Every structure is written in structure tokens, then in C-alpha cells.
Amino acid sequence: MIKVMRALLAIALAVGLGALFPSASGATTKANAELTVSAAASLTDVFPVIADAFTKRFPNTVIRFNFVGSSTVMNQVIAGAPVDVVATASEPTMQIGVDSKQVLRPLFFARNSMTIAVPAGNPANIKSLADLQRSGLLLGVCDTVAPCGASAAELFAKNKLSVTPVTRELDVRSLLGKVISGDLDAGIVYITDVKAAGSKVEFVEIPIKDNVMTIYPIAMVAEAQNAQLANRFVKFVRFSNTSQGILRAFGFAKPW
């Protein structure tokens, strides 16, 4: 009985540790090269598609993703998370990693801008940025700790808007979810997020001259398990026509 329990405990521990450190559980998988990519939440839809293209080009590679807020991406790497490549939705966030010597030579690979997401049918009838100042409107933004929130704050300042959001979500996905569900009348999100959500959500365009641009850097982690593969993935995302084509299809603009 005790033996059985011990065995069970060992299995539970192994499984638990394996889940915690995916790149450390190499013994259970084939001789595949593994790459762990930690990326900003706004890359959730496009990166798996790029990864598919990458693994077609370089078979026997397995790419694992960790999509969280940009600041969490960097916090986790600085805290020593076993990650090979990081991509954030903000240059200053990436710079923190560069300054602490945790990431090497970031490359800008995409640009994004903001839009006003509204539930299907636009029930609050929002037509422009100025409409966001209407009292009683349930407007959601990201918290300023997240790039989508910093961009929203910049957007309001640039257009001299006085708005009273009802929530500051910690990542753009949860914000968009509450717009899609109709619990918010409007949310300031990336244009790529509304493109990815398809017909579930509508958006009101912000003219380029009033809009705020976000630039996306990608970089290899200094202590990457597989430096060669990490470097290859970073270059692929930035320079390959395949990757840039996919980025365009998802609404990202050129970084140059």
C-alpha cells in the first residue's frame, strides 16, 4: 500500500514538475528541439500560425507558447523562467530585459495601432473618439501597467479627451471579452484584436493622425536552452516573407 502511494506521489510530482518546466521534460518527448516563446497577449492568435510555418521549414521543432501581459513576460524572464524567446508589445518593456542583460539584440517585427471595439450592432452608437466622453457610457481600458492601457492613456491625452472608464483590465483579451459579451459599451484595444475576433465584435476606426502606434520587439533570451533555434525563430519572425505576410493578414503593420 505504502509502495503504491509512494509511486503515485512520484508520478504526481513528476507530472507537476513537468507542467511547471515544459522545456525540462525532454525525456518524455522524442528527440525534438523545443522552443519556449513567451509573448504579449496581443500575439495570441498570430504567433501559433507563424510557428506552424516555422516548424514546416524546420521539422522536428516543437514550439510552446506562454501568452501573458508584456510586463509579465519580462518579469518572468527576469525571475528566471525557462524561456528561449520573448516578444512584447512595448519597447520600454523590452528595454528592461536588455538593461538587465536577460535578453539579446531585440528586433522590431511589427506595429499595431488602437481602435474602439464595440459589441456587435454598436448598441451605444459610438461614431468617434469624442463619443467616448459621454456620461453613463460603460467604457473599458487596460490598466496602464499593460501596453494596451499605456497606449489608451496616450490616445486620450493626445486627443485631449476626458473619459471615465469603468474598468482597467490587466490584459487586452479580458477587455475585449467584456466588449464582445456586451457588458461594456466600448473598449480601447489593438486593431489586431478586433480583426482576430471577426464578426463577434465591431470597431470604430481612429484616424491615423489621432491614433497611437505600438511597436513590437522580439528577442532571444540570454540563457536560452537552444540558442541557435531561438536565434533562428527571431530572424524568421522579423525577416521571412512568410512571417511578415501572416502578420499583415492579422492586421499588424510593417515595423519599418
Partner 1 sequence: MALVFLMVPLIALIAQTPWEAFPKIISSPEALEALRLSLLTSLAATALAAVFGIPMAWLLAREVLPFTGLMRALVIVPLLLPPVVSGVALLEALGRRGLVGGFLYDNFDITFPFTTIGVVIATTFVAMPFLIITLEGGFRSLHQRYEDAAATLGAGPKRIFFRVTMPMVAPAAIAGLVLCWARALGEFGATITFAGNFPGVTQTMPLAVYTALESDRSVAVALSLVLLVVSVGVLVALRGRYLQTRAS
DSSP class of residue 254 equals P
**CB–CB of 178/187 below 8 Å?**
yes
CA distance 44 to 22: 19
Q: Which of residues 144-163 bind partner 1 (CB under 8 A)?
A: 145-146
Residues in binding contact with partner 1, number by CB under 8 A? 21
DSSP class of residue 252 equals P
Residue 188 C-beta: closest distance to partner 1, Å: 14
Instruction: Point out which span in 56-64, 181-189, 198-206, 217-225 binds partner 1 (CB under 8 A).
Output: 181-189
CA distance 222 to 227: 8
Q: Which of residues 43-102 bind partner 1 (CB under 8 A)?
A: 69, 71-72, 75
Task: Give bridge partners of residue 103 from the DSSP assignment.
Answer: 221
For 77, the grid coordinates are 524572464
**CB–CB of 108/174 below 8 Å?**
no
Q: Between 183 and 205, whose beta carbon lies closer to partner 1?
A: 183
Instruction: Point out which span in 20-28, 107-115, 142-150, 202-210 binds partner 1 (CB under 8 A).
Output: 142-150
Q: Between 93 and 226, whose beta carbon lies closer to partner 1?
A: 93
CA distance 114 to 88: 16
Q: Between 122 and 167, whose beta carbon lies closer to partner 1?
A: 167
**CB–CB of 215/87 below 8 Å?**
no
Q: Which of 34, 84, 169, 193 lies at the binding interface for partner 1 (CB under 8 A)? A: 169
CA distance 106 to 116: 30
Q: Between 165 and 217, whose beta carbon lies closer to partner 1?
A: 165
Q: Which of 34, 131, 143, 193 lies at the binding interface for partner 1 (CB under 8 A)? A: 143
Residues forming the site for partner 1 (CB under 8 A): 69, 71-72, 75, 138, 140, 143, 145-146, 165-170, 174, 178, 181-184
